[in-house]
Chains A and B, each alone.
Chain A
Amino acid sequence: MAATPEVTDATFDADVMKSDLPVLVDFWAPWCGPCRMVAPIVEELGEEYAGRVSFYKMNTDENPAIPSQYGIRSIPSLLIFSGGELKGTIVGFRPKSDLKKRLEEAIA
């Protein structure tokens, strides 16, 4: 399965805010166990939504600015952006079916 590409503080504006497609960003850190267990689910979603939604992950250890700007104090957190605006926030681990529902609502 294809690994989700990384986005950084430096590339966030171009990859996420200026993206033509809606974007889901998975905030994670290497020491966060559940984040590593959620990664394969995000990868599955990435394949199912290929061409409709872009998927990125951001390492909160290496990128302090964006997580702080969005008040991330719990990971995994999934943020959904569309047209340069935050459309949805999912904190913690949720069933894949819930993630799909929230994603559909955010990009509708």
Chain B
Amino acid sequence: MSAERPETYDIAVIGAGGAGLTAALYGARARRRTVVFERLMSGGQIATTELVENYPGFPQGINGTDFAMNLVQQVDRFGAELRYEDVQSIAPRPDAPFRIETSEATYEAHAVVATAGADYNKLGVPGEDELIGRGVSYCATCDAAFFQNQEAVVVGGGDAAFDEALFTARHVSKVWLVHRRDTFRASALLQERVFANPKIEIIRNTVVDRIVGADGVEGAELRNVQTGEVRTLPVSAVFIFIGQTPNSHLLKGLVELDEGGHARVDLRMRTAVPGLFVAGDLRVEAARQLVSACGDGATAALAAEAYLAEAGIGEG
């Protein structure tokens, strides 16, 4: 059977979050044939963020989805392709382009920028999987409005948990913010706002052991990790924001990963594999901010362009 020659790109970007879309923007503007593969939806984590208040140049903040949609339009305007396909493998080959297998087809690319980001962590407690979409949620901006005048638990102690607790408090009658430690990683400003919100009650040193309910969430069983005291809160929703795990399965065996699964890169986002770059939340020491992810994407695309030029690809 003679297979057709796969579609060949100069730059393949994996992941259409802030880092990936910015890399694609720079790749397309360098007149490189650029594709972005996206497993889920474009925008990545930013698409589920209600208001981005720390992106420089937007004094009133900007809606995360608007930001993502603008970036998609901008990338499209300069001619990069966006394909909703799940990349299964990246294979470097000596003296040949990378081979990329997706859920739909096989492609080739002379340079690869991996920006697959990170996925939210689950609690891993009974009731969680069973009640997803019926009160258990990882996106308060999507679902909080379905629980008007009911009570909700928000789990976590970082920026995402605090942000989403504030958003959820606009819809529900009461938010119980449950955190396993005594202190919080959330920024000082977000902490001030949460502490001042009369609808939010903070429960420290406490974990969720179980989410109960038949047709929908009816309660969350909590355990104080210091006293061992157990109680069940009668809530209709549990919103979970307990950090993320990088999507580095594609890079395993290919590049060096740290203990947390982040890829080692240099300051130009280069890995030890020539032509393979990693940017955004997937790399070591990422600041995990939209602005730094976008900056990483630009750096990686410029380094990819330099790599292609040096290899004499696509010249003349």
Contacts and interface: CB of A to CB of B under 8 A. Distances in A.
B84 interface: yes
Interface string B40-70: 1111000111100000000000011100110
Contact of A73 (B49, B65, B135): B135
B63 A33 contact: yes
A63 interface: no
A30 to B, nearest CB: 10
A22 B216 CA distance: 28
Contacts of A83: none
A74 B65 contact: no
Contact of B39 (A35, A72, A95): A95
A41 interface: yes
Contacts of A96: 84-86, 103
Contact of A33 (B86, B103, B133, B141): B141
Contacts of A106: none
Nearest to A31: B145
B137 A93 contact: no
Nearest to B217: A73
Nearest to B82: A40
Contacts of B180: none
**Contact size class for B?**
20 to 34
Nearest to B216: A73
A77 interface: yes
A95 B47 contact: no
A76 B147 CA distance: 16
B41 A38 contact: yes
Interface of B is mostly: loop
A34 interface: yes
Interface residues of A, number: 27
B41 A74 contact: no
Contact of A34 (B39, B48, B147): B48
A62 B246 CA distance: 38
A69 interface: no
Contact of B141 (A31, A38, A71): A31
B63 to A, nearest CB: 7
A37 B85 CA distance: 15
Q: Which of B69, B138, B141, B142 has the most chain A CB atoms closer than 10 A to its own CB?
A: B142
Nearest to B215: A71
Contact of B132 (A33, A37, A91): A91
A95 B50 contact: no
B47 A37 contact: yes
B85 A97 contact: yes
Contacts of B135: 73
A40 B139 CA distance: 20
Contacts of A35: 142
21 contacts: A33-B43, A33-B50, A33-B63, A33-B68, A33-B141, A34-B47, A35-B142, A37-B42, A37-B69, A38-B41, A40-B42, A74-B132, A74-B143, A76-B142, A89-B133, A91-B133, A93-B41, A94-B40, A95-B39, A95-B86, A97-B86
Q: Top 10 nearest A-B pairs by Cβ distance?
A: A91-B133, A33-B65, A97-B103, A37-B41, A96-B84, A74-B133, A37-B47, A73-B146, A95-B86, A32-B142
